[in-house]
Structure 1
């Protein structure tokens, strides 16, 4: 069978999924979409747990000023991790512009 083509709206929303599904045959797409979903959910869970531990360890049993510092430090770590994740995202290949389909009159399919 031919290569799987995502709906154009799905391509605009999730270019990473488009890149990941591009080399797959149509019958391989279900198994190819499971792994990125699992990795995404596990990664988000681990990241949330690590930031929670960082916050709790820095501000546990301390005064208000120390807790404020713990939140500040935790947010800086979150921002640093986000910036680190943005680097490979910026290196993704640019999307080619496809010609828009011709407009149909209102009420036609």
Structure 2
């Protein structure tokens, strides 16, 4: 519960892209801590649940997954995630990457 509260506080003042990137990095770290791949994993939640968790609309989450895929940070196949550029995703989570208009 404490980790979830910390995550929510961290995300409160971030952009939607930053929130999703931070969420994916958090999952990545949790999987790595359990001995699984930090770059290849299945989402344990639906996009709708992720949207609720991050305080976003489900459509926004779907758009953001597409945008992060287009930038080459990750690939998405249903719930399967491959983080192709973890450093870029970290920068995004920190708010250092400027979104480009599509």
Q: TM-score, normalised by structure 1?
A: 0.26
Q: TM-score, normalised by structure 2?
A: 0.27
Which has the higher relative contact order, 1 or 2, with Cα contacts under 8 A spaced 6 or more apart? Answer: 2
The structure with the greater share of residues assigned to helix is 1
The structure with the greater share of residues assigned to strand is 2
